[in-house]
Amino acid sequence: MKTTVIDIHNVSKIYNPDTIPVHAVNGVHLHIERGEFTALVGPSGSGKTTLLNIIGGLDVPTEGKVVINDTDITALSPNRLIQFRLHNIGFVFQSFNLIPVLTASENVEFIMLLQGAPKAERERRVKELMHAVGLSDKMDVRPAQLSGGQQQRVAVARALASKPQFILADEPTANLDSQSATNLLDMMAQLNREEGMTFIFSTHDARVIERARRVITLVDGRIASDTASVSVA
Q: Give the model confidence (pLDDT) of 35-84 as tens digits.
A: 999 999 999 899 999 999 999 999 999 999 999 999 999 999 999 999 99
Architecture of domain 37-43+77-228: 3-Layer(aba) Sandwich (3.40)
* Closest C-alpha to 8, from 76, 81, 68, 75: 68
pTM of the model: 0.88
pLDDT at 229: 54
Lowest mean pLDDT segment, chosen from 29-33, 68-72, 86-90, 190-194: 190-194
Mean local confidence (pLDDT), 126-136: 90
pLDDT at 230: 47
Quick one: what percent of the chain has pLDDT higher than 70?
A: 97
